[in-house]
Chains A and B, each alone.
Chain A
């Protein structure tokens, strides 16, 4: 329990080799060891969604996953998705619609919204609301976020057409 063990993984495409305590969760590993503080910790028990990251393409609560469980995995955080430009349009829609206030839930919200749009390119408002229900926002009341996700889906559909 108290002896660090080696872990190797990709974080935002960069190879990371580290020694971590087995009990260290992925959120704390990203924030404290790698200083990727865009992944936020809101509840530390898997409810609020602020710590949502992508592991091998699927979104997970990084507070519910141990860093050692990410051995060999590819982890992507909001910093990675921002720098790659993958969610630039979604971020622009959030900005235009003021779909964030304090911004603390925003990285997790973007992760989850992008996940929805990848799996369901043309969601209706209720589908958006359902999919985002695991990500708490205390500031906006959600409507602006739903609007921004809906607008992004529409714009992506137009680009595809």
Chain B
């Protein structure tokens, strides 16, 4: 580990004796999951609970002429068949726009389609029955008369005058457009060698292993809705459900226990989930919806379907003079709610060229509607696209002037001592470490030896490639991300910590857990700051009735924001405990400390009183305390970043792979990542976040693609045909760190959840092109399937 900044002059609360910060400790409560005793929403049953299934449009675009559900309603076990029109009585439609994304438009979307279905898979009726099987049986007897309409499927022609407009009220199929022009791109390009390419990204999706699941329980007597949902953002769900069911937020409780994978898929509000909430209210009983796998492919948000023309200017000395991009993406028929579907394209504009000093940058991004499933934010939103374009162009530039890909990066990456600084798109960087990271990466991979091995193997007709990708990553987003645009998505988080009667610690936090280790990092921080062992710290999360208000876990924000709130809350509680201890011991708070679950003298460490004894006195014998002392063994603190809109992180990845030029198959041999996420709370958890993220990026690079036909039919909506990475195909991934803590918080942690995904595909694509160099083939499309590779090689 390399630390880029000198430590502070005094020891911080994180450097206390027996600190858990920076240590690998197992996550608490893993046994529950290891023994199959977790509590996922799909496991949940409630008294009188009914099951809903949705009849979904088989057409990409169709008018709903009539729905005949009489036969279905008469079937055994059927409780109700509900159409979009009928559900409107209890839930209002929504429009997925944010005011800070100027010009973004979308049309009202209904929980269940009214009059018209706009993608294959949009729900047109809900069938509620006593079991899921009974509901599915009845679904087959609901007859819908459709009038098929022309489907807009190709993003490239979506804006043509001849193309039908999906929502007439919007005037055209353009959802959002953003342009940016910084420096003087034309002047820069006129003085340079210019390389140009079109980058194509397959539409892919998250494939959480547990599908989306919700149980909505409207208690008519309490006039209260309890929503059990696998979500990353419980308070956001509470807000949206209340808003559209015409309830107060206080009438909605959202409970989220174990979640079987999220990756951004479960940070949105889906129409079928809204319908489930509404059905519970309508039918006055608990309703459960669990998507099946086909529904998941057809309705879980998709992402990354971009086509981008990119240009780069380079001088013979390797100086990159300009970047220019023209990005196009098709998002489906609606902008997703409430985070919108313009964020990914917006991020692409923000991030292209981000690691480099190049000041001349011009960009246009257009977001168009189509009759396909909705697209929205999935892990590393926009980053993989921006990184693939940027790093692809940098490699093309290096190739053009005959320079090593490492050398061109060395000459253009922002210097490690240039911070704070800003990018041409206005992104503010507090402290990044591109050069230190690259140096460390080269050392880890033994770059020189790999190049020699590559050359030796070439003579035996074995074609291996090395690919690099430097990246920056948005983490710890402030209110700039959603709040300023009018979305009720909190950018702050809160943590309440209390000392209980036996000296154990209960900690309620507004961040959520989907396996990242939110519970662990909270317990590590609280235990360290308080001087209490982790086994005594119990973390409660995922319940809007029982945690402070906050954003949740997404956009690599849990550790940096929720962790800082935990630290500050624990500091406050620690002071409160020391105040009480001083009163009991007739000492001064400053003369005392808490170490290993007991109050000790600050100077000589001599034990004074056990925490459980202190708690006993406070809770059961307060009569023995001096007059005027009111102990407060609970403290709550909140935190939100204010100085920087985002805490940018950085890193670099490298891929080493072999291309079989006869079959087009790619074998991944090794992958390296050096990442700088500031203070590392738990090295193992950080590394595993990065590894998991890398593999999702490797899936995008080689396998994953939602394949639509020209009529807007998703042709591979199952796990056998939509390929995700399997263990046999994945390489070992070596990870190193450079540590540049953010000075905005005492904790210094930035996010790490998306770094792996941000750069993995770019590194692989560059490595494939490196392997194919002797053949003069260059590919700027992912996934890099055998077909794509053999086509580039002219073999098919």
User: Which residues in A have some Cβ–Cβ distance to B below 8 Å?
Assistant: 21, 23, 31, 36-45, 47-48, 50, 77-79, 82, 91, 94-98, 100-107, 110, 125-126, 128-130, 132-146
Contact = CB atoms under 8 A, between A and B. Distances in A.
B40 to A, nearest CB: 7
Contact of A101 (B26, B292, B692, B726): B692
A-B pairs, top 5 by smallest CB distance, nearest first, are: A38-B36, A103-B33, A101-B515, A104-B260, A141-B695
A1 to B, nearest CB: 10
B632 interface: no
Contact of A95 (B30, B210, B719, B728): B30
A97 B687 CA distance: 11
A143 B34 contact: no
Given A47-B719, A138-B724, A139-B515, A129 B730 contact: yes
Contacts of B733: 141, 143
B36 A133 contact: no
A96 to B, nearest CB: 6
Contacts of B728: 126, 129-130, 132-133
B276 interface: no
B688 A40 contact: no
Nearest to B206: A138
Given A31-B43, A36-B36, 14 more contacts: A41-B42, A50-B209, A100-B34, A102-B258, A103-B32, A103-B34, A103-B260, A105-B209, A129-B727, A129-B728, A130-B727, A132-B728, A138-B724, A140-B691
A42 B210 contact: yes
A144 B691 contact: yes
B72 to A, nearest CB: 16
B514 interface: yes
A103 B730 contact: no
A44 B516 contact: no
Nearest to A46: B720
Interface of B: 26-27, 30-38, 40, 42-43, 133, 206-211, 258-263, 292-293, 514-517, 684-685, 688, 691-696, 718-720, 724-730, 732-733, 756
B47 to A, nearest CB: 14
Contacts of B685: 98
B727 A37 contact: no
Contacts of A140: 688, 691-692, 695
* Interface hub of A21, A98, A106 (most chain B Cβ within 10 A): A98
A108 to B, nearest CB: 9
A95 B514 CA distance: 16
A99 B27 CA distance: 11
28 contacts: A38-B38, A40-B40, A40-B209, A40-B210, A40-B260, A45-B718, A45-B720, A47-B719, A77-B36, A78-B35, A82-B34, A95-B27, A98-B685, A102-B208, A102-B210, A102-B258, A102-B260, A102-B261, A103-B515, A104-B38, A104-B208, A104-B260, A106-B34, A129-B728, A136-B726, A138-B261, A141-B756, A143-B733
A104 to B, nearest CB: 3
B34 A91 contact: yes
Nearest to B296: A43
B408 to A, nearest CB: 29
Contact of B35 (A48, A91, A144): A91
A138 B208 contact: yes
A98 B684 contact: yes
